[in-house]
Amino acid sequence: MTPHDLVLTPRGLRFCGRVFPCTLGRGGVRADKREGDGATPAGRHRIVGMLYRPDRMAPPAPWARPIRPGDLWSDDLRDPAYNTLVRAPHGFGHERMRRADPLYDLVLLTDWNWPDAVPGRGSAIFLHRWRRPGYPTEGCIALRTDHLRWIAARIAPGAGLIVA
The answer on pLDDT for 3 being more than 90 is no
Spatial strand order in the sheet of 94-96: 85-87, 71-74, 94-96
Instruction: Answer whether the bond into residue 3 is a cis peptide, omega within 30°.
Output: no
* Average pLDDT of the chain to the nearest whole number: 96
* Radius of gyration for the chain, computed over Cα atoms and rounded to the nearest angstrom: 15
Tens digit of each residue's pLDDT (9 = 90 or more) over 34-74: 999 999 999 999 999 999 999 999 999 999 999 999 999 99
Q: How far apart are CA 136 and CA 142, in angstroms?
A: 8
Q: How far apart are CA 45 and CA 48, in angstroms?
A: 9
Set out the domains of the chain in order of their start, with CATH numbers. Answer: 6-61+101-163 (2.40.440.10)
Q: Residue 130 to residues 2, 5, 80, 120: CA-CA distances in angstroms?
A: 25, 20, 30, 25
Across 145-161, average pLDDT: 98
